[in-house]
Amino acid sequence: MKPIKVIVYAVLIISVVLGALFVTNIDFSKLKKQMNTTDMYVVVTENGQEETIQFEDKDSIIRYNYVQSAYDENGAAKKITFSANKNLRLNAILLVKVQELQDKEGNYLIGSYEEIQLDQVPDKTKEKLGL
């Protein structure tokens, strides 16, 4: 291939990719805030606030919403909010992936959570959680 054709093809491909990104209106700053997470720990101390979500096709689901303080490995706290499709077990210890995004009340959102064992919690965090 001649060098000019390679340059033309490269410019066309880059233009198509940039055009697709522009048309889809991706918010890269929000995407970055969702991708950057911090491992934090929380103990489920109360039942979740039950919420029924009704869909247009008349189906509905029940979600359980939680707002609690989570602590990182150094004991620093953040107020987080998350929901689950079941009422979580009381006194369960959770490892949560806290995003940089916040809701309208200023609580941080999480990307995921998993139940862990006490020996997986850092010592400084155990103190803050009262474990």
More reliable by pLDDT, 73 or 35: 73
C-alpha pair distances (Å), 37 with each of 23, 26, 48, 97, 109 = 28, 19, 23, 5, 10
pLDDT at residue 40 tops 60: yes
β 108-116/77-84 pair status:
parallel
Residues in CB range of 38: below 8 A, 6 or more apart: 72, 97, 98
Residue 58: its pLDDT value, please? Answer: 75
Compute the average pLDDT of residues 29-48. 77
Residue 47: its pLDDT value, please? Answer: 94
Given pLDDT bands bounded at 50, 70 and 90, which one contains residue 23?
Answer: low
pLDDT at residue 33 tops 70: no
Alpha helices, DSSP H, located in the chain: 3-24, 28-35, 123-129
| Strand, coil or helix: 106 | coil
Tokens for 112, please give them.
């995921």
Residue 86: its pLDDT value, please? Answer: 92
Residues in CB range of 37: below 8 A, 6 or more apart: 97, 98, 99, 100, 110, 111
pLDDT tens across 62-114, in order? 999 999 999 999 989 999 999 999 999 999 999 999 988 888 898 998 888 99
Phi, psi (rounded to 5 degrees) for 107: -80, 140
Work out whether the CA dihedral 51, 53, 58, 59 comes out positive or negative.
negative
pLDDT tens across 120-131, in order? 999 889 888 888
Residue 88: its pLDDT value, please? Answer: 94
